[in-house]
């Protein structure tokens, strides 16, 4: 079946339109965002989620905050813009794209000459550029992924964890970008999507995206991945990332580390698909990546149904860190890079 491309963050008619991902797959609803605080809330409540999409949303949030500032004094404007940035930074601590986009918007504001009106106009242009660049980057990631996926007589069966698709980016996706490119190239047989407890992004969002485009998808529970690998049902794993340390250690949705360990045990390649903006060279290794902890209700309830006995305690980290030695390659918009080569490769790109 054919489907229109999915774009979870759109600028239209002086406002931001977000697909409400908390309503999928049963309901497709679009939320209008007019103010920076509304954008912060949308990020916190996961109306918009996925590191690249969060970055794009935060960029627009910075512009919306700038638009609300009522002063013509440049210094006062920049000071108040820092307050907007502080609020947006506090929304999701693990996704580095959030901080990258906010820092870029602040840098743009400080470096733009002219009056406050001019700065605001340039901030909107910058947010729109971040948006468009992310779609293009994801398409490049998808195409580069084709060069490193296993070569074999039959079509590929890929496993993914969480959602790193169009919904998690400005469009097309990172891990699902690789899947989409493989499907378009006629190399994909099927996607296996881990359900991804506790918020079920794989079951709800990855499966939804695949169904929209007619890509064969099988949803499995998180604890079935090892069984499927043992039975020879998986040829490669492709996941996204929320932050990558300088040494290649990668933070992604909780449960990713388990999948990587099992893939290693079965000699199955494990790929991370992410833009260079997800790499945080200020962090030496994964032990320094901040891990967001979310409300325990995500574990003990589904909708209005309580799953656990009263009196139990809960631990709900949203992410875990996969060590670099478990990662076959990191697929970026500049090609697939071995984790150990990240810093030297980036240096070569800067000096090229």
322 strand-pairing partners: 250
Among 242, 249, 280, 320, which one carries the catalytic annotation? 242
From residue 94, give the alpha-carbon distance in Å to each of 138, 142, 236, 256, 263: 20, 24, 26, 15, 24
Is the preceding omega at residue 176 within 30 degrees of 0, hence cis? no
Tokens (6 digits) for 283: 């962090």
Contact 239, 164 (CB under 8 A): yes
Task: Give the torsion sign (CA, 56, 60, 63, 64).
Answer: negative
Tokens (6 digits) for 337: 């890079």
What is d(CA 5, CA 341) in angstroms, rounded to the nearest whole number?
Answer: 34
Within a 13 Å sphere around the CA of 92, how many CA atoms are in the beta-carbon half?
Answer: 32
Within a 13 Å sphere around the CA of 187, how many CA atoms are in the beta-carbon half?
Answer: 20
What is d(CA 77, CA 66) in angstroms, rounded to the nearest whole number?
Answer: 8
Q: Is 73 a catalytic residue?
A: no
Contact 28, 19 (CB under 8 A): yes
Contact 39, 57 (CB under 8 A): yes
Question: What's the gap between Cα 104 and its chain centre?
Answer: 18
What is d(CA 274, CA 87) in angstroms, rounded to the nearest whole number?
Answer: 25
Within a 13 Å sphere around the CA of 236, how many CA atoms are in the beta-carbon half?
Answer: 27
For the annotated catalytic residues, the residue numbers are 242
């Amino acid at each position: 079946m054919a489907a229109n491309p999915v774009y979870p963050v759109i600028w239209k008619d002086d406002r931001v339109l977000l697909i409400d991902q908390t309503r999928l797959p049963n309901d497709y609803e679009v939320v209008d965002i007019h103010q920076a605080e509304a954008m912060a809330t949308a990020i916190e409540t996961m109306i918009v989620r996925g590191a690249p999409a969060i970055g794009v949303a935060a960029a627009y949030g910075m512009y919306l905050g700038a638009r609300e500032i009522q002063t013509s004094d440049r210094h006062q404007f920049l000071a108040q813009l820092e307050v907007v940035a502080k609020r947006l930074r506090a929304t999701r601590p693990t996704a580095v794209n959030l901080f990258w986009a906010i820092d870029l918007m602040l840098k743009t504001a400080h470096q733009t000459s002219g009056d406050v009106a001019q700065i605001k106009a340039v901030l909107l242009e910058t947010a729109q550029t971040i948006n468009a660049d992310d779609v293009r980057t994801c398409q490049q990631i998808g195409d580069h992924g084709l060069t490193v996926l296993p070569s074999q007589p039959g079509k590929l069966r890929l496993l993914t964890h969480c959602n790193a698709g169009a919904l998690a980016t400005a469009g097309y996706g990172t891990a699902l970008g690789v899947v989409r490119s493989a499907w378009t190239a006629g190399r994909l047989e099927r996607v296996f999507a881990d359900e991804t407890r506790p918020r079920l992004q794989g079951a709800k969002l990855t499966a939804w995206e695949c169904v929209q485009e007619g890509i064969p998808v099988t949803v499995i529970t998180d604890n079935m991945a090892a069984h499927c690998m043992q039975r020879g049902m998986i040829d490669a794993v492709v996941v996204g990332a929320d932050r990558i340390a300088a040494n290649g250690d990668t933070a992604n949705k909780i449960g990713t580390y388990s999948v990587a360990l099992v893939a290693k045990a079965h000699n199955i390649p494990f790929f991370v698909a992410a833009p260079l903006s997800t790499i945080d060279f200020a962090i030496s290794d994964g032990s320094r990546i901040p891990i967001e902890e979310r409300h325990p209700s995500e574990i003990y309830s589904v909708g209005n149904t309580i799953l656990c006995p009263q009196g139990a305690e809960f631990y709900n980290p949203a992410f875990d860190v996969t060590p670099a030695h478990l990662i076959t390659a990191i697929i970026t918009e500049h090609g697939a890079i071995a984790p150990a080569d990240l810093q030297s490769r980036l240096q070569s790109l800067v000096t090229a």
